[in-house]
Amino acid sequence: MCGLTLATEEARLQQVASGCELQLEVVKRHQRSFEIQPRRWVVERTFAWDRRQRRLSKDYERLPEVSESVVYIAMIPLMLNRLTA
């Protein structure tokens, strides 16, 4: 970790999360067993669905607002499928 201790790294992450109105939860790893984290799979699944959109594979936009709009447009079919299912 480039000479940073876990305590200083956690403090920096807490500071960034508080500035962005995010909730940060540090989860301790278990050495002997595999444990599924509660809602992480939902986020990873959504990112995987986003990657299927050809427009999101490259970022040629100059403004971040345009990139944000493209993400919204890509999510429309997913939300419609969720509403109609």
Per-residue pLDDT tens digits for 8-58:
677 777 777 676 766 767 667 666 777 677 777 777 777 777 777 776 777
Cβ distance 50 to 71 under 8 Å? yes
Tokens 């999360």, residue located? 17
Contacts of 26 (CB under 8 A, 6+ apart): 10, 13
As a residue count, the chain comes to 85
Angle of helix 64-84 versus helix 40-51 axis, rounded to 10: 110
Q: How far apart are CA 23 and CA 46, in angstroms?
A: 19
Question: pTM of the predicted model, to two decimals?
Answer: 0.45
Give 62-80 pLDDT, tens digit per residue.
Answer: 888 888 888 888 888 888 9
